[in-house]
Amino acid sequence: MTDSQVIVAHGPKDLRIESRETPEPGPGEVLIAMAAGGICGSDLHYYNHGGFGTVRLKEPMILGHEVAGHILALGDGVTGLAEGQLVAVSPSRPCHACRFCREGAHNRCLNMRFYGSAMPFPHIQGAFRQMLVADAAQCAPAAGLTPGEAAMAEPLAVCLHATRQAGEMLGKRVLVTGCGPIGLLCILAARRAGAAEIVATDLSDFTLGIAAANGADTVLNVARDPEALAPWQAEKGRFDVLMECTGAAVALAAAVPAMKPGGTIVQVGMGGDMTLPVQAITAKELSLKGSFRFHPEFFTGVELLRKGLIDVKPLISHTLPLAEADAAFRLAGDRAQAMKVQIAFAV
């Protein structure tokens, strides 16, 4: 089979389009012609800094894990899928054999092969390729969606998992810090889960405008007004849930005074280690929960998209061709004009 093009990170600001041989699908696998791929925050960390925290690129790595495409060929034994079908491809590939998988906690798998991850070495190569061979079990039929919408299933799954970590949301007041794609999708997920009030903070009027148009009741620019959350600090705080999507310690510290005693903090953003206001969290008896990846929520997310219960189209701000991958990554890091930037992988 002929070679296809892939997007490879060799180090900070060293992004290359290279050729790789396209393998044939084996038993239980499918060959997919990639149609759309979204640039994620972790992709940007690899592009801009060569990694995040202790996770660093130690070898060239194909980026990407928010992808969708059309099935070109079926391997032996594949049922329920058809050639030509649009599918969203889950990047979550747990081993199904370790103790966490046996407990149903697949996102904590000891042998996870998550597309485009430098956490293990050798690195897990990503899905920004014109041709991808994937397990049939990773594929969620996406009829009725555009490839761009289908590719949004992965970040939506992250936010659905975070919403589950938050617990009961019906009638609750929710604060979302950070209005990038994950923050915006957390707003949509919280609203779908029944949140009564959603307040969103960010440093950019552009992102806050999108948040206001997509479910946030109140948006606050904390760069312009660092005390913007003061009205919600009265009587020991008002918010039941904080969905912290920046990974920045300053955002968490500013939010804690507005949290109601007994509330829940869900840490979604990952930007490296953080210093926590432990005494304030203790005095308010707040629950601090991490939220890491997802697994079953991916297929739930696709169904929510297909049924029109969550609309991600307003979040897709730009789509650039594969040949302009470097420009796409630079644009994706500009929160003054871009929300979700996607790459079109036309062969």
Q: In the prediction, which pLDDT does 44 show? A: 96
Fold of the domain spanning 3-152+312-344: Quinone Oxidoreductase; Chain A, domain 1 (3.90.180)
* pLDDT band (50, 70, 90) for residue 159: very high
Predicted structure pTM score:
0.95
* pLDDT band (50, 70, 90) for residue 54: confident
Residue spans of the domains in the chain: they are 3-152+312-344, 158-290
Q: Are strands 66-74 and 29-38 parallel, antiparallel or unpaired?
A: antiparallel
Q: In the prediction, which pLDDT does 211 show? A: 98
* pLDDT band (50, 70, 90) for residue 347: low
Q: In the prediction, which pLDDT does 271 show? A: 75
Least confident of 34-43, 46-55, 162-171: 46-55
Buried b (16+ CB within 10 A) or exposed e, 118-134: beeeebbbbbbbbbbbb
* pLDDT band (50, 70, 90) for residue 297: very high
Q: In the prediction, which pLDDT does 1 show? A: 55
Q: In the prediction, which pLDDT does 323 show? A: 97
What is the chain's mean pLDDT, rounded? 96
Q: In the prediction, which pLDDT does 5 show? A: 97
3 vs 264, residue with greater confidence: 264
The answer on pLDDT for 175 being more than 60 is: yes
pLDDT tens sequence across 80-139: 999 999 999 999 999 999 999 999 999 999 999 999 999 999 999 999 999 999 999 999
Cβ atoms 208, 187 nearer than 8 A? no
pLDDT tens sequence across 208-247: 999 999 999 999 999 999 999 999 999 999 999 999 999 9
Going by C-alpha positions, the residue among 62, 122, 23, 10 that lies closest to residue 322 is 62
SS3 124: strand
Task: Show the 3-state SS of 261-307.
Answer: EEEEEEECCCCCCCCCCHHHHHHCCCEEEECCCCCCHHHHHHHHHHC
Question: How does DSSP classify residue 15?
Answer: E
* CATH for 158-290, options being 1.10.10.10, 3.40.50.920, 3.30.300.210, 3.40.50.720: 3.40.50.720
The answer on pLDDT for 45 being more than 80 is: yes
SS3 79: coil
Q: How far apart are CA 27 and CA 80, in angstroms?
A: 14
pLDDT tens sequence across 310-330: 999 999 999 999 999 999 999
Q: What are phi and psi of 132, to 5 degrees?
A: -130, 130
* pLDDT band (50, 70, 90) for residue 274: confident
